[in-house]
Amino acid sequence: MSSTSLDIARVRSAFPALENSDYIYADNAGGSQCLASVVDKLSDYLLRTNVQPGANYSVSVQSTTRVAQGVEAARELFNAASTEEVSFGTSSSLLVENLARAIDADILDGEEIIVTGEHEANAGPWKKLAKRRGLAVKFWHATQISEFPNNPYAVALQTETLLGLITPKTRLIAFTGCSNLLGSIVPVKEIIAAARAKAKEVGARKLEVSVDMVSYAPHRRVDVQDWDVEYCFFSLYKVYGPHLAALYTRKTSLQNSLTALTHHFLPFDSTSLKLQPGGPGYELPYAITAIPEYLRSLTPSGTLEDAFKAIADHEQTLVQPLLAYLKSQESRGVHIVGDENASLSRVPTISFVVQGEKPIPSREVVKAFDDKGYIGIRNGHFYAYTLVEHLNPKLDLVDAVVRISLVHYNTVEEVQTIISILKRILEA
């Protein structure tokens, strides 16, 4: 076994839902299974330290320490420079709503916002901000991948398209690091650098970037410092944890771009707590301390970098056979939605439609899986409503696509089971 190989039996033993069960969880982009160690910590907090943090009595001191450990765990997962750049909320959608409210006063009349058609969490709040202020919104749409001219649904976010949207009025760009429908990873660092260079070239007053990492964080290492990004967020319940979301806000933006949402007398103006009106359930931050602990346990080096390399390598063994089978059914009318290639630029979130002479609605494909009773997949737009709406040929916005989303605790054997069911559906 190489230094970056995963021991899948050991991995699966960390998740009670997978023990002694033949059920195949293949809707992980909607929410992963939870680590036993996360639940242990959550329970231990509630049963032994469930008091208000911040007081001087011993149990409160312990509670305060545990919550601080949770903030540090999130800082490590972001690779943020400071815990003062991390805040929590009940969902990613709520965090971006808060962010859009906090930035309002620092945006000038006539400035512009660029969003994608991806998950609405990083689009809807900015569109609502623009409506409140009468600002222009531009859409960075996914466009045809030239390598696959015969598949109209083979689309991706492409840097050149974004650069053509940037003007002297551009104030903020909001995009996704990994599509929860296309499964494709965008080169975040390169996109941000190119966007900043173009904004400087055209004389934009101030450019900030908000990146949605909800579908990226379970599969790859997040690194906000390397990316040079102001705002970044993801949901811990999609990274093997509790139902909690975390937001990174760069220190300079906290100080210069954002207005506090908290009570006026609280001394939070230079920390991300200014974006957290009221505390999260305190047991939840403490519970997430189990996530980096688990990730570090996956490889001998004990680093998050090697853990995510091992995760990415294993996930390629899941992506390759599933994509290969779907591509073999192109003459049957199967179209992969997104990049058809299996590569490290793609996570095992795979969407497709069945068209041609014998089309099958996406809901009927899912029903055939549901009828088996031991496997979970879904169909729909998955909150990437504008992306589906923009696809051409048009898709029914409710039926939309079939999505099979896997993570590192899934196995090659499970993929083969999925393929065998698809064969019975598509080759009947």
Please state the three-class secondary structure of 228-293 as a single string: CCCEEEEEHHHCCCCCCEEEEECHHHHHHCCCCCCCCCCCCCCCHHHHCCCCCCCHHHHHCCHHHH
Q: In the structure, what pLDDT confidence band is assigned to residue 2 with cuts at 50, 70 and 90?
A: very low
Distances in Å between the Cα of 409 and the Cα atoms of 14, 278, 378, 406, 421 are: 9, 35, 19, 8, 20
Render pLDDT for 389-424 as a digit per residue (tens, 0 to 9). Answer: 999 999 999 999 999 999 999 999 999 999 999 999
Cα–Cα distance measured from residue 273 to residue 275, given in angstroms and rounded to the nearest whole number: 5
Cα–Cα distance measured from residue 97 to residue 246, given in angstroms and rounded to the nearest whole number: 13
Nearest 5 degrees, angle CA 99-CA 105-CA 109?
Answer: 115
Query: Using CB atoms within 10 A of its CB, is residue 230 exposed (0-12), middle (13-18) or buried (19+)?
Result: buried
Quick one: average pLDDT of 283-291? 98
Question: Does residue 278 register a pLDDT over 90?
Answer: no
Please tell me the predicted confidence (pLDDT) of residue 415.
98
Quick one: average pLDDT of 323-330? 98
**Amino acid identity, residue 347?**
V
Question: Does residue 296 register a pLDDT over 70?
Answer: yes
Cα–Cα distance measured from residue 379 to residue 367, given in angstroms and rounded to the nearest whole number: 10
Please tell me the predicted confidence (pLDDT) of residue 1.
38
Task: Assess contact for 155 and 170: CB atoms under 8 A.
Answer: no
Question: Does residue 3 register a pLDDT over 70?
Answer: no
Q: What percent of the chain clears pLDDT 70, i.e. is strictly above it?
A: 99
pTM, full prediction? 0.96
**Amino acid identity, residue 365?**
V
The domains found in the chain, sorted by start residue, are: 8-34+302-426 (3.90.1150.10), 58-293 (3.40.640.10)
Q: In the structure, what pLDDT confidence band is assigned to residue 268 with cuts at 50, 70 and 90?
A: confident
Q: What percent of the chain clears pLDDT 90, i.e. is strictly above it?
A: 95
212 three-state secondary structure: strand
Please tell me the predicted confidence (pLDDT) of residue 20.
81
Quick one: average pLDDT of 91-109? 97
Question: Does residue 60 register a pLDDT over 50?
Answer: yes
Please tell me the predicted confidence (pLDDT) of residue 270.
83
Please tell me the predicted confidence (pLDDT) of residue 280.
84
Render pLDDT for 166-219 as a digit per residue (tens, 0 to 9). Answer: 999 999 999 999 999 999 999 999 999 999 999 999 999 999 999 999 999 999
Please tell me the predicted confidence (pLDDT) of residue 269.
82
